[in-house]
Structure 1
Amino acid sequence: MMLCPGDLVTVDFPGVTGVKRRPAVVLSSETYHSLRPDVIVGLITTQTRVLGVTDCELQDWASAGLRSASMFRCFIVTLPPSANLVVIGHLSERD
């Protein structure tokens, strides 16, 4: 599967209560993917009440394939090729 920066995927993220399937945005470039087997993603969260300095509210979350208002949280993870990524959409140019 060829991933592009801005693709929204679901991925298993570890949490306090165990592993949960969560949305994430692909950050690594197509050039990166052509040279390496892993993928770099950033966390997407629906906890939009408190914005941190590095958080970014998504304006076009519905058209991107998300079910509710969301924001990008600067929690960056490198995932191995064995990660079960499922593409659910793509961020707009605005986001």
Structure 2
Amino acid sequence: MLPNPQYSPLARQTTKYDRKVAEEIIEREGTREAILYFEKKASKLSDYAYWFYLSTCWVSYTGWSDLQKWKKLFNSKRPDRMKAIMKPFEVDFLF
């Protein structure tokens, strides 16, 4: 199977916990509750899930912005930020 440029190869590394958190974030999508839930569960997420879910929350809902919270979350020292926060073709285009 050829790699899909829409998804990071790291997406295959998600855990059961990651998938459960994703379901809960989706239920809260488009509301400020999504980022609050994400923040509460973030410490146990895989690195890929952390970056992907954070970027998804950012794109999905900007109506409520606690900029200090967003800055703190986006400044995490977790690895693989560029491989997870954007789709592979977006990274290729940008860089």
Given the two structures, how large is their TM-score scaled by the length of structure 2? 0.24
Q: Whose helix fraction is larger, Structure 1's or Structure 2's?
A: 2
Higher RCO (CA < 8 A, seq sep 6+): 2
